[in-house]
Every structure is written in structure tokens, then in C-alpha cells.
A and B are shown apart, each in its own frame.
Chain A
Amino acid sequence: MSLPKPVMRGLLGKRLRFHLPIAFTLSVIAAVAFKYAVTEPRKQAYADFYKQYDAMKEFSAMREAGVFESVRPSGE
């Protein structure tokens, strides 16, 4: 019948002191991981694509396939 008195004060502060550093660290890790797993490869992919890109060749291929309305394939 004689339990110790439970902690009555500072509960929110204690929780924040514990969880906020963890939350902050995890957020930073998530951001860094996203940058190096997603955005950097994507930038590299675009760079590589346009290094070897010949716009006129692509245009002619699309024209021959008939997808344009302003310029029909050279045969017609």
C-alpha cells in the first residue's frame, strides 16, 4: 500500500529531450540519402542523355513516324 509517488512534472520536456535529437538526425539522414540516391543519379542521367543527343536526327525519326501535324512524313 506504499507505492512511490509517480513523476508528475516535466513529462513533455523529458519526451522532447529524448525524441527531438533523434527526429532531427533521422530527418537529416533521410534528406542526404534522397539527395545521393535519387537527385544525383537523375542529374547524371540527364547529362549523359544530352551529351549524345542529336536533335535533328530525332526530329526526322519522329517526322517519318507521322506524329507531327505541322510537317508530314517526307514521302507524302
Chain B
Amino acid sequence: MTFSILIPYPTIPCLTHFRPVALPLVVAVNGRRKEVREERKINSMLATRALRLLGSRALPASVCVRGGHGVAKVEDYALPAYFDRRENPLPDIRFVANLSPEQKSLKEKEKGPWASLSNDEKIALYRISFNQSFAEMNKGTQEWKSVVAGMLFFIGVTGFVVLWQRKFVYGDVPHTLSAEYKEQELQRMLDMRINPVEGFSAHWDYENKQWKK
């Protein structure tokens, strides 16, 4: 989608009477792009040949920086980008930037009545402008399986860590958790008649000194 262009600055001579070129992206219509190319041809043959090698998209205007014209270099990320998002249905640029001859002729045909386009041509035009259809971009992946697997794995690792801690890190529990102490606690709760209606003491048979069946 985006080109990362390495311009060999030292080898492109920037002639002082070279007019700074507006980015081909701004000059989006094919017709004007041809005009610009004509101007370039008139101004400088060498630069044109070099520039043509780089393709017609995302030409930094920094071609002229060396010539002292002081045009700021435009970074790739600052240029309009194409991306498939549901909430941004019409991206700023077409997906396919460099049209092949058939695609160019198709674009010419698009200027006429659309009823004359066959279904395949319509689909071809769509694919020129867009990468994925909404159905394709919204399709779910199988990623959730990896996520769940990772979760469970790390929960298991945590289990091992906890067991190791219990054995090697923690000291003894307080004496109040010993069996005899807990029995005494239990007896005291029954003596105090904790929750005698529906809860704790309700299940104890005070006559026979045992839990109710």
C-alpha cells in the first residue's frame, strides 16, 4: 500500500529552475497528472527519468530540497493512507494506485453510462478502489482460540507458582486454625445459639447433643 521510497538524493540533480511539483496524490485525476509530467519533461530530462523509476505515488517534494527551495520533506505517514475499516467506509485514496492499461481503460469506460458495465467490470472497478469488501474485513478470525489457550496456560502456570509459594514461602498458620481450637469455637457458637431459627444452631439437636438428621 504505502511505498517506502529511498531516493538517492545525491544522484538527483535539482535544477534551480525546477518548479516544485505538487504531490501526485493531490493531482489525483489522471488528466492533470499527465500535465505535470509534461512540465517535468520540459524542465528536466534527467530528473524525470530518475523520478519515473520510483513510480508515480508518494513522491516526496523533497526532491527540490537540495536545490535550496526549502520545501519540507513529506513523510510517508503524513500522506493519505488506505485502510479497511468498518467505521471509515470511504478511505481517502484508492487502493490500487498504479493502474494497469486495462484498468485505465476501465476507468475511462466508467465515465460513461454505468448500465453498460458488465458485472465483472463493476467488480473489477470495486477492487481497484477497495482492498477488502465489508464481508471480508468483518469476518471473524480464529484468534479467540489462541487467546483462550494462552489464558488457560498462564492460569496453570499461576497455579504452579501458588503451590510453590505454599511450600517454600509461607510460614505456619496461626494456632487459632488448629482442630482443637476450631472445635472449641464451634461449641461456643452453639452455646450462644447462633442463628437458631434457620441457620447454624437450628441444625443442632440440643437434647441429644448431635447434628439433626
Contact = CB atoms under 8 A, between A and B. Distances in A.
Interface size class of B (residues with CB under 8 A): 10 to 19
Contacts of B196: 49
A67 B198 contact: no
Q: Main SS of the interface on chain B?
A: loop
Interface string A35-70: 000000010011001000000001001100111000
B122 A62 contact: no
Q: Main SS of the interface on chain A?
A: helix
B169 interface: no
Contact of A61 (B119, B122, B197, B206): B206
A8 B206 CA distance: 71
A1 interface: yes
Interface of B: 119, 122, 188, 191-193, 196-198, 202, 206
Interface of A: 1, 42, 45-46, 49, 58, 61-62, 65-67
Given A46-B197, A49-B197, A49-B202, 12 more contacts: A1-B122, A42-B198, A45-B197, A45-B198, A49-B196, A58-B193, A61-B206, A62-B191, A62-B192, A62-B193, A66-B191, A67-B191
